[in-house]
Amino acid sequence: MAVLEARDIHVRFGDRVVLEDISFTVEEAEFHGIMGPNGAGKTTFFNVLTGRVRPSRGRVIVSGRDVTGFSPHAIAALGVARSFQIMTLFNEFTALENVAVALPTFRARGFDMRRAAVGDRGFEAEALDVLARVGLADKARLSAKDLAYGDRRALEIAVALAQRPRVLCLDEPTSGLGSDGVARLAQLIGTLKGSLAIVAIEHDMEFLFRLADRVSVVHWGQVIARGSPRDLRSNDWVRRSNLGRLQ
């Protein structure tokens, strides 16, 4: 069964049709990439998957359950975590604290005080485990604002992973990273791959084609091609597009 599914999604903003009949699945442990030109509708589609935009038509299904119209919070609680293109870290908090406050066990306490997260060995151990998954265990005590850009990206992923998601949604994870940062991120995603489902919007085709099991190409609000990176390398539209160079 698909962990996350979209069926026949349409989105209109006023009289403008932004998404037209998009269907999509991501299976357990699959990495499904989404690419397409600027303005194609990729972020809007992500917003539909994560509950930020309600589709005009169509259904969103999480692990077999129809969640169309659910709030972002309710969808997240069912295991769909999103890491944003725009950084959403608490700058003054340490890496450890940023992860600790995202832990479901911490949130379940019903209050959100930094002091409560710090010094609580239970939260610390759990948060450190998550930081280790993204290679930041040795930077746990640094403030988020003092981390290098690539480390902040890794920390954002750790915050999403702290929620123990079944699906991790990444919106342009390589954006703003230099070639070293992209290589490091590819390595990190490579280690996560297989442990959960990943959906990523990405402009860097080389990055995407190296890691994804399947890629959907969105153009004018529709999926115009879908397949494995190997299939898509021979797709005429992908070859002709200026979306990126492929080896």
Which of 43, 56, 143, 175 binds ligand ATP (CB under 6 A)? It is 43
Residue (52 or 164) nearer to ligand ATP, CB: 52
Structure tokens at 17: 């049709």
Q: How far is CA 198 from CA 59, 108, 175, 190, in A?
A: 20, 25, 17, 11
Joined tokens for residue 155: 């920390």
Per the DSSP assignment, residues forming a β-bridge with 217 are 35, 225
CA distance 70 to 53: 10
Q: How far is the CB of 50 from ligand ATP (least distance, A)?
A: 13
Choose one: 36-44, 105-113, 120-128, 239-247; the region binding ligand ATP (CB under 6 A): 36-44
CA 37 to chain centre: 18
User: Least separation, in Å, of the C-beta of 18 and ligand ATP?
Assistant: 4
Return the structure tokens found at 225: 């091609």
Sole binder of ligand ATP in the list 3, 26, 35, 41 (CB under 6 A):
41
Among 2, 22, 24, 36, binds ligand ATP (CB under 6 A): 36
3-state secondary structure of 150: helix
HEC profile for 133-194?
HCCCHHHCCCEHHHCCHHHHHHHHHHHHHHCCCCEEEEECCCCCCCHHHHHHHHHHHHHHEC
Report in angstroms how near the CB of residue 242 gets to ligand ATP at its nearest: 13
| Of the residues 3, 44, 130, 153, which one makes contact with ligand ATP according to CB under 6 A | 44
Q: Is 40 in the site for ligand ATP (CB under 6 A)?
A: yes
Q: Tell me which amino acid residue 17 is.
A: V
SS3 222: strand
Stretch that binds ligand ATP, among 32-40, 69-77, 87-95, 227-235 (CB under 6 A): 32-40
User: Shortest Cβ distance from residue 81 to ligand ATP (Å)?
Assistant: 19
42 scored as a contact of ligand ATP (CB under 6 A): yes
Cα–Cα distance, 6 to 68 (Å, whole number): 9
Q: Which is nearer to ligand ATP, 13 or 149 (CB)?
A: 13
Residue nearer to ligand ATP on the CB measure, 26 or 147: 26
Which among 25-33, 39-47, 76-84, 155-163 is the span making contact with ligand ATP, rule CB under 6 A?
39-47
Within 10 angstroms of residue 14's Cβ, the number of other Cβ atoms is 6
Q: Which is nearer to ligand ATP, 34 or 157 (CB)?
A: 34
Nearer to ligand ATP, 152 or 219 (CB): 219
18 binds ligand ATP (CB under 6 A): yes
Is the Cβ–Cβ distance between 218 and 41 less than 8 Å? Answer: yes
Taking CB under 6 A as the rule, does residue 38 contact ligand ATP? Answer: yes
**Given the structure tokens 């190296």, which residue do they identify?**
210
Taking each helix axis from N to C end, the angle separating 121-133 and 149-162, rounded to the nearest 10 degrees, works out to 120
Query: Binding residues for ligand ATP, per CB under 6 A?
Result: 13, 18, 36, 38-44
